[in-house]
Structure 1
Amino acid sequence: MTELAAAPVPTIPHHSLLVFLLQLSVLLFLALALGRLAARFKMPAIVGELLAGVIVGPSLLSHVWPDLADWLLPKDPGQQHLLDAVGQVGVILLVGITGMELKFDLVRRRRHTALRVSLAGLLVPLGLGVGVGFLLPASLMAGDTSPTVFALFLGVALCVSAIPVIAKTFMDMNLLHRDVGQLTLAAGVIDDIVGWFLLSIVSAMATAGLSTGTIAASLLHPVAVVVAAWLVGRPLVKWALRAAGRSSSSTPTVAVTTLIVLLGAAATQALRLEAVFGAFVCGVLIATSGELDREKLAPLRTAVLAFLAPVFFATAGLRMDLTALARPTVLAAACVVLAVAILGKFVGAYVGAAMSGLGRWEALAIGAGMNARGVIEVVVAMVGLQLGILGAETYTIIILVAIVTSLMAPPILRVAMARVDDNAESDMGMTGTKTRDLASPSPASPASV
Structure 2
Amino acid sequence: MFAAAPVAVIPAHNLMVFLLQLGLLLGLATVLGRFSVRFGLPALLGELCAGILIGPSLLANVAPGLSAWLLPGDPARFHMIDAVGQLGVLLLVGLTGMHLDLGFIRRQGRSAGWISGAGLLVPLVLGTGIGFLAPAEMIADGVDHTVFALFFGVALCVSAIPVIAKVLMEMRLLHRDIGQLILSAAVIDDVVGWLLLSVVSALATAGARTGQAAVTAVALLAALVLVAILAGRRAVAAVLRAADRGAGNLTTIAAVTVMLLLSAAATQAMGFEAILGAFVCGALVGSSPDLKVAKLAPLQAFVAAVLAPIFFATAGLRMDLTELSRPPVLVAGIVVLAVAVIAKFAGAYLGARIARRSRWEALALGAGLNSRGVIEVIIAMVGLRLGVLTTASYTVIVLVAVVTSMMAPPLLRFAASRIAPTEEEAAREEFFDALQSTGGESGEKPGGETGRELVTTAKEA
Q: Which residue of 2 aligns with 1:346?
A: 345
Deviations 1:43-94 (A, max 9, x none): 1101100000000100001111111111110001110010111011110000
**Correspondence for 1:182 among 169, 174, 180:** 180
Match of 1:174, SS state, is: coil
| Maintained 8 Å contact 2:137/2:392 | no
Alignment of 1:56-71 (within 5 A): 56-71=54-69
SS in 2 for 1:420: coil
- Please list the CA deviations of residues 272-305 of structure 1 after superposition, one character each: whole Å capped at 9, or x if unmatched: 1000001000011111111111100001101111
Distance across 2 between alignment mates of 1:432 and 1:169: 19
Task: Report the AA paired with residue 173 of structure 1.
Answer: M
Distance 1:120 1:353, change over 3 A: same
Q: Is it true that 1:441 corresponds to 2:455 in the alignment?
A: yes
CA-to-aligned-CA distance 1:382-414 (integer Å, 9 cap, x gap): 000000000000000000000000000000011
TM-superposed CA distance for 1:421, in Å, is: 1.6
Distance 2:403 2:289 in 1: 37
Q: Map 1:373-384 onto structure 2 (within 5 A).
A: 373-384=372-383
Residue 414 (structure 2) aligns with? 415
Return 5+ residue gaps in structure 1 as ranges. Answer: none
- Provide the C-alpha distance between the structure 1 equivalents of 2:454 and 2:191, rounded to a whole number of angstroms: 19
**Among 82, 85, 95, the residue aligned to 1:84:** 82
Partner SS state of residue 304, structure 2: helix
Q: CA deviation at 1:248?
A: 5.0
The share of aligned pairs that are identical, in percent, is 56
Q: Which amino acid aligns with 1:16?
A: N
Note the alpha carbon deviations across 1:3-24, whole angstroms, 9 max, x for none.
Answer: 3322111100111100000000
SS in 2 for 1:329: helix
Aligned to 1:12: 10
Most deviating of 399-408 and 209-218: 209-218
Whether the 8 Å CA contact 2:99–2:457 is kept in 1: the answer is no
The structural deviation recorded for 1:223 is 1.2
Question: Corresponding residue for 1:297?
Answer: 296
2:156 to 147, 155, 158: 158
Q: Please, which moves more after superposition, 206-215 or 311-320?
A: 206-215
Contact 1:182 1:432 (8 Å CA) reproduced: no
Describe how 1:267-278 pairs up with structure 2 within 5 A.
267-278=266-277
Range with greater deviation from structure 2 (21-30 or 242-251): 242-251
The one-letter code matched in structure 2 to 1:76 is D
Aligned with 1:110: secondary structure? Answer: helix
Task: Check the 8 A contact 2:337/2:400 in 1, yes or no.
Answer: yes
Q: Which residue in the other structure is 1:52 paired with?
A: 50
Q: Secondary structure at the match of 1:12?
A: coil
* Residues 188-227 of structure 1: pairs in structure 2 closer than 5 A: 188-210=186-208, 211-227=210-226
Secondary structure at 2:242's aligned position in 1? helix
Instruction: Supply the distance in 2 between the matched residues of 1:432 and 1:358 (Cα, whole angstroms).
Output: 25
Offset of residue 215 of structure 1: 2.0
Question: 2: distance between equivalents of 1:408 and 1:425?
Answer: 29
Question: How has the CA–CA distance of structure 1 residues 74 and 166 changed in structure 2, closer, same or farther, with 3 Å as cutoff?
Answer: same
Are 1:386 and 2:400 an aligned pair?
no
Q: How far is 1:425 from its partner?
A: 9.2
Q: 1:113 to 1:173 in 2, by over 3 A?
A: same
Superposed, 1:5-404 pairs within 5 Å as 5-210=3-208, 211-247=210-246, 249-404=248-403
1:192-212 Cα distance to aligned partner (Å, 9 max, x none): 110000000000000012234
In the alignment, the residues of structure 2 paired with residue 445 and residue 13 of structure 1 have an alpha-carbon distance, to the nearest angstrom, of 41
Please report how far the alpha carbon of residue 370 of structure 1 lies from its aligned counterpart in structure 2 after TM superposition.
Answer: 0.5
The 1:403–1:61 alpha-carbon spacing in structure 2 relative to 1, beyond 3 Å, is: same
In the TM superposition, what whole-angstrom CA distance separates every residue of 1:343-365 from its partner, at most 9, and x where no partner exists?
11101111111111111111111
Q: CA RMSD in A?
A: 1.9
CA contact (8 A) 2:162 2:457 kept: no
Kept in 2, the 8 Å contact 1:106–1:439? The answer is no
2:42, 2:163 within 8 Å by CA — same for their partners in 1? Answer: yes
Instruction: Tell me whether 1:405 sits opposite 2:404 in the alignment.
Output: yes
Would the aligned equivalents of 1:301 and 1:445 in 2 still touch at CA under 8 Å?
A: no
What per-residue deviation string (whole Å, max 9, x for no partner) do you get for residues 133-171 of structure 1?
111122320111111000000000000000000000111
Decide whether the 8 Å contact of 1:182 with 1:439 is kept in 2. Answer: no
Unmatched segments (≥5 aa) in structure 2: 433-444
CA contact (8 A) 2:341 2:404 kept: yes
Distance apart, 1:242 and its partner CA: 1.4
Could you tell me whether the CA contact under 8 Å between 2:135 and 2:329 is conserved in 1? no
TM-score (norm. length: structure 2): 0.93
